[in-house]
Amino acid sequence: MSVWLYMNILLVYPKYPDTFWSFKHVLKFISKKAAFPPLGLMTVAAMLPETWEKKLIDLNVTELTADHLEWADMVFIGAMIVQKDSAREIIARCKRLGKKIVAGGPFFTTQYNQFTDVDHFVLNEAEVTLPLFLKDLEEGSLKKIYTSTERPDITKTPLPMWSLINFKDYATLSVQYSRGCPFNCEFCDIVIMNGRIPRNKSPEQMITEFQALYNAGWRGPIFIVDDNFIGNTLNVKKMLPELITWQKAYKYPFSFFTEASTNLAADPELMQLMSAANFYKVFLGIETPSLDGLKECDKFQNVSRDLADAVRTIHQNGMQVMGGFIVGFDSDTENIFEAQIKFIQQTGVVTAMVGLLTALPQTRLWHRLKAEGRLVKESSGGNTDGTLNFVPKLNKETLLQGYKRILSTIYSRRVYYKRIHTFIKSYKPTVRTRISKSDMLALFRSMWNIGIISNARLHYWKLLSRTFVTKIKAFPTAVELAIIGQHFEKIVAKTVAR
């Protein structure tokens, strides 16, 4: 038989630096090693021949050893921009051992020309390009680059190989429902990666995925990783009733959070369906309270609505809004820093990811700034690391200092806890939670680490006691927000010190 039928494939996921979303500083509260698993690599693994042996090494939970590399016939690496330093280290190790390297994912799709040591690039969407690679591998005629602009039908995407990871390592599991976003914000790379026409998995397919996770033993939060979960509202409204029925039948084993656009707040039916399906958090790209800034970046879906009212409406429908904010638009003036602080505080967006505008590779913003001679370097991929890769219209030092002032203000303990109280006041929790041993452990650890030995202890006990008395259903959320505040505080301290 052909040697091709029997190969050892090592899938390696690079390490994340310490970022806003890594939650590295608080994973100890729930005895987890990483926030999220490498969904892309597990999905790719499911597309490889069944006769191949596969191992997945996530450097966020374990070490990549010499034995792992010696075992492998090929090493598959998938990464995002923020993982680039770790990806380079992995490539160098593989190269020294003479291992064949296959790379793909968002980082390599836009910056593959930086990596001469990678043997083969399987870029764009793997449902299209991976079969081309496998065909050429079988025929002994491999090419350097496999790329395509074709958008695959993701109803044919296989179940991820969940067996490659240990569920106990992760705080949250991930699934994908759709790809693509109907909007075209200038700074966003979603359109490059996944197009403007949302493609959805079928309701039956999603239930099969959830059933597989349930059967494998997972209980708890699931991140639906879509670029915009509500990109196709018609299809979402067909899927959610099926999910609600399934959740009821299994007594709500999962709670969900996802990413969406602000037009969610204008659709009461959709919010009610999401809430009934046990969605409890949603990330919104709010970006800026400045109309000029929104128009400049073509964020027209935000221009036409009262953003503060949109946040409150979603809170009142049982979902906590996590918000993305940006400073550094050409139209920004020195007033933008105070405007951002005021908006975030008044709306109670507790998890506020405030970043400097960055020109991601190949985006419309990147091309415009390059044409204007304002592009300085490639993006770091970090959302809140305080680095600029272009020449801003606002004085650079003014922008950097103003940005740091936003972060140091909204994540100071007093202001942060005040924002939690504002959120809790408007929040009408509907999520059906299962209080696990991990949750209880997190509570007791927070009582010691925050409630006793931390300088935040007065804020902590005031929050917990008030929430317990006035809105007991929000108590688990209050505990969670107090804990993740410890992480945000450390991330901000590092950014401000730069």
What pLDDT is stored for residue 3 in this prediction?
A: 59
User: In the chain, which stretches have pLDDT less than 50?
Assistant: 1
The token pair that represents 447 in the structure block: 């009582």
Residue 467 falls inside a structural domain = no
CATH number for the domain harbouring residue 13 = 3.40.50.280
Number of domains in the chain: 2
Q: How far apart are CA 218 and CA 357, in angstroms?
A: 37
Task: Answer whether residue 465 is part of any domain.
Answer: no
Scored b (16 or more CB within 10 A) or e, 363-392 reads: bbbbeebeeeeebeebbbbbbbbbbbbbeb
Assess whether 133 and 196 both reside in one domain.
Answer: no
Q: Judge if 113 and 197 occupy the same domain.
A: no
Residue in the block written with tokens 């998995």: 201
Structural domain of residue 35, as residue ranges? 3-146
Q: How many CA atoms lie within 13 A of 158 on its CB side?
A: 15
Q: Is 280 helix (H, G, I), strand (E, B) or coil?
A: strand
- 12 and 82 in a single domain? The answer is yes
pLDDT of residue 1: 41
Please report the pLDDT score of residue 385 as a whole number: 84
Q: CB–CB of 275/319 below 8 Å?
A: yes
**359 vs 380: CA distance, rounded Å:** 10
Indicate whether 114 and 195 sit together in one domain.
no
Same domain, 176 and 142: no
> Residue 381: its pLDDT value, please?
81
Q: Would strands 178-179 and 100-104 be described as parallel, antiparallel, or unpaired?
A: unpaired
Report yes or no on 351 lying in a domain.
Answer: yes
CA 195 to CA 356: how far, in whole Å? 25
